[in-house]
Amino acid sequence: MTEFRTERDSMGEVRLPAQAYYGPQTQRAVENFPISGRTLPPELIRALGLVKWAAATVNRNLGLLTQPGSAAVSAASGGQDTRAPHSFPIGKSTPS
């Protein structure tokens, strides 16, 4: 059985899968804009992860991140996180 959590934002409450890394706005997009059923290619998701990791690393090295922000460097893990594809549920509108 799938577990859910409830989050609240300016538009109200929304149910999300308990393990989802995304928030209410992404869940609403999934529900309201089913485009193709195809997700982003894993290569693109990995590239986005690498950009986030690089930005977090630079900002940490410049002393611009707070302690919780420094955890973002580890969380980004250079795009190596195998859970990442499930964090991008929005479909793409053009064929591969």
pLDDT tops 90 at residue 12 = yes
pLDDT at 84: 61
Residues 6+ apart with CB under 8 A from 95: none
Residues 6+ apart with CB under 8 A from 33: 90, 91
pLDDT in tens, 33-74: 877 777 788 888 888 888 888 888 888 889 887 766 666 666
Neighbouring-strand partners of residue 12:
9
